[in-house]
Amino acid sequence: MLKGRHVIEPGDLSVTEINEICSLAEQIIVDPVSFQDVCRGKILATLFFEPSTRTRLSFEAAMLHLGGTVEGFADASYTSSTKGETLADTIRVVSSYVDVIAMRSPKEGAALLASQFSTVPIINAGDGGHYHPTQTLTDMLTIRALQGGFESHVIGFCGDLKFGRTVHSLAKAMSRYKNNKFIFISPNELKVPEYITKDILEPAGIEYMEAERLEDVIGELDILYMTRVQKERFFNEQDYIRLKDSYILNQEKMQLARKDMIVLHPLPRVNEIAPEVDNDPRAAYFKQVRYGMFARMALISKLTGCL
């Protein structure tokens, strides 16, 4: 039963609950008209203390498509936090007006703190480098829709694997399903943290490998999850110059990939996927955006008790 629950990290949802949310999202995709009034009378607050395009608009579109309404802010400078109001007090006030809150903050742990003072469900829409559970639901719904399920995939994560919260969350979530193999593709400076490999994958006996060149492993992948290699993460600019082009996905590299591989990206992209790839039928990142709205529709309707 998800009604009234907070969703701060992907681990707050069991495998069964993830499957239920994805199944509901798939029902909404097939017959959206049947769900257009299920949350009529409910209000979503979007509290975005840092900039966002896709996540905020996706939450708002999700609630509107369910027949509910939305209030909130996209710029913290217009809130009483500029006067010194604490997050706890902001949440106490807002939760007295609405039925569910989606919150993004640059501060790690902010959503967990908010959940301790809220009388309605808090959905973490990103807290610094910590968690982004609805992006993980988005990724998983996309994988299920396009690759048939969550098991027996070879999943490649490419780019900034050290600081990428979406990478950490999806790797943890997919490690809960059978027969998945992970390939982590990054420069040495941005390798996936050991808490993923040593604390999660190895104890569970999950197969993984690390690589520095995308070309060497792309042919093995069912799913390629791209992220940006960030210049600001390097101490030595020469290392960045040496490596940066290795992590630009172009049509030449796509020719080495399987015909049924899909390419995902949490967006926004900068230059890590060449525009020429957009027309490749394996490029799924814009489909992924739309799946995100349906995933959030399913989650909101469950947390508010509408369904």
- CA quadruple 222, 227, 233, 234: dihedral, nearest 10: 60
CA 306 to CA 298: how far, in whole Å? 10
Tell me which of 6, 42, 55, 166 is the catalytic residue: 55
Tell me which of 42, 132, 168, 265 is the catalytic residue: 132
Return the sign of the alpha-carbon dihedral for residues 102, 105, 108, 113. Answer: negative
Token pair belonging to 39? 């949350």
Give yes or no for a contact between 274 and 120, defined as CB atoms under 8 angstroms apart: no
CA 197 to CA 139: how far, in whole Å? 20
In degrees and rounded to multiples of 5, residue 112 shows phi and psi of -65, -45
Give yes or no for a contact between 128 and 243, defined as CB atoms under 8 angstroms apart: no
Tell me which of 16, 82, 83, 178 is the catalytic residue: 83
Tell me which of 54, 176, 287, 290 is the catalytic residue: 54
Is-catalytic flag, 54?
yes
Is-catalytic flag, 259?
no
Question: Taking phi first (over 0 means left), then psi (-120 to 50 degrees means alpha), and beta for anything else, what does residue 148 get?
Answer: left
Is-catalytic flag, 228?
no
Is-catalytic flag, 153?
no
Is-catalytic flag, 265?
no
Please give the full DSSP string across 153-168, using - where no structure is assigned: -EEEEES--SS-HHHH
Tell me which of 104, 130, 228, 296 is the catalytic residue: 104
With 0-12 / 13-18 / 19 or more C-beta atoms within 10 angstroms meaning exposed / middle / buried, residue 198 is: exposed
Catalytic positions are 54-55, 83, 104, 132
